[in-house]
Amino acid sequence: MESTTVKKTIQKTLDQLGVKSQNFGTSTGSESFGNGETIKSFSPVDGELIGSVLSTTKADYEKVLNSAQLAYKTWRLKPAPLRGEIVRQFGDKLRELKQPLGELVSYEMGKSLQEGLGEVQEMIDICEFAVGLSRQLHGLTMHSERPGHRMYEQYHPLGIVGIISAFNFPVAVWSWNTALAWICGDVCVWKASEKAPLCSIACQNIIAKVLKDNNLPEGISCIINGNYKVGEFMTTDSRIPLISATGSTRMGKIVSKTVGERLGKSLLELGGNNAIIVTPDADLKMTIIGAVFGAVGTAGQRCTSTRRLIIHESMYNKVKEALVSAYKQLRIGNPLNENNHVGPLIDKDAVEMYQLALKKAIDEGGTILVEGGVLSGKGYESGCYVKPAIVEADNHFEIVQHETFAPILYLLKYTGSVENAIDIQNGVKQGLSSAIMTNNLREAELFLSQLGSDCGIANVNIGTSGAEIGGAFGGEKETGGGRESGSDAWKIYMRRQTNTINYTTELPLAQGIKFDL
């Protein structure tokens, strides 16, 4: 795709989404403002300046919180199905703007256009899920031990939910949180990644129109923008009972400690070091498709990206040869060109981390199977394009034990039974996503049992990435233990209350305690 064509496409995209060359990075609905430093958003696709955002100051933040608190007083009183109707309208707007928003995600973040459109589809899907859920927020009824008493539990909104999102999914993860929080009666304050701030402006423009059309308070959806210091406004603020944070394990530990010190709640989605186990009974074709997409999709910048391939010795050479052949077919380039498989890394800092990881792997004794490197020349002017690499390694290597946000796949060999492979897979500090490729029912069931994968996500005959919104998303160990999106993840956005009603003229005490006056 020629640069002039890209510029025309992106300008049309920005116009459709109401994103300007300079934007206020703070918003309480339709009112936007900002008095902080300028954040410039450069596309990793071509290095061009897309636009800039004025970051949030402390005074700006206080204005946002006041607006959110005021909006909460109105929003929480709306019946949940009516809150669901607003989310339905938001989903319809996303359908109308799926193409331009997907293009902006692709251009600002660098993922392929298909993945950008897929991310917006995730937003639409979670809206549909939330609309149905708005008529199903439920509690349990329990039998009381006391005659003439009824016990039940119910859920109430928390208040303000603070959302801190990462660059790799600049819109979807926000929507996972907001769609559920909104139907639960909460209002949201969102700090997007400073590496993809324009996506937050676009999303805010969309929901602001829905709120205005329904004569609802602007503060139901607010955004703030800036670096980690702006995030600290939220994490230290006792007016925000829940902080949902997506990012590195290092960041998550800081957020958890800070929020915990004020006895707030945190929902953490942190690092992954995801593996696919390939057994002797694996389907080779399915294995290669799952492994390659998992390793190179989003240029290896998904938290669920496949980092390790644990292969039985009897299959090792076959899998290795097939992978090398598949990697030769990868097309690296402008992600807006749908013929390309792999786009750029987010920035040059990510490129440096990629290079250091490869060097570290070699220094520790790894063998390069598919050589990496930074691409240059026409079409790669941004300096953010790298070659997906494959390294033969051991699980105990320090670099293998850490997550590198880049398209580097480590091949690990196992011998003996599948239990040995499971031990290797579980032998890292992270516990997000995992998979096994096998047609052996016993191996599959063992992998999914309490003796199997210790990850929050465990798949059979599919890869580690590509989760659906219907299931709860999240992981264990240093992944943080949080759960977002489907299943009963809505409960974290609400406070649980147990109620006991005495409909008699007596006052019996629990446990048969006597207290007569």
Catalytic residues: 269, 303
Residue 134 phi, psi dihedral angles, 5° rounding? -60, -20
b/e sequence 487-497, b meaning 16+ C-beta within 10 Å: eebbebbbbee
Residues in the chain: 517
Closest CA to 298 of 329, 341, 333, 339: 341
CA distance 272 to 277: 16
Contact residues for 12 (Cβ-Cβ < 8 A; gap 6+): 100
b/e sequence 227-266, b meaning 16+ C-beta within 10 Å: eeebbebbbebeebbbbbbbbbbebbebbbebbeeeebbb
CA distance 30 to 492: 28
One-character DSSP codes across 8-52: HHHHHHHHHHT--SEEESEEETTEEE--S-EEEEE-TTT--EEEE
Q: How far is CA 38 from the centre of its chain?
A: 26
Q: Residue 142 pairs with which residues in a beta bridge?
A: 151
Q: How far is CA 7 from the centre of its chain?
A: 29
Q: Write the CA distances from 281 to 133, 424, 444, integer angstroms.
A: 40, 18, 11
Write out the H or E segment, with its range, that includes residue 257.
Answer: helix 249-261
Q: Are 159 and 338 in contact (CB under 8 A)?
A: no
CA distance 237 to 243: 10
Write out the H or E segment, with its range, that includes residue 370.
Answer: strand 367-370
Contact residues for 285 (Cβ-Cβ < 8 A; gap 6+): none
CA distance 300 to 512: 61
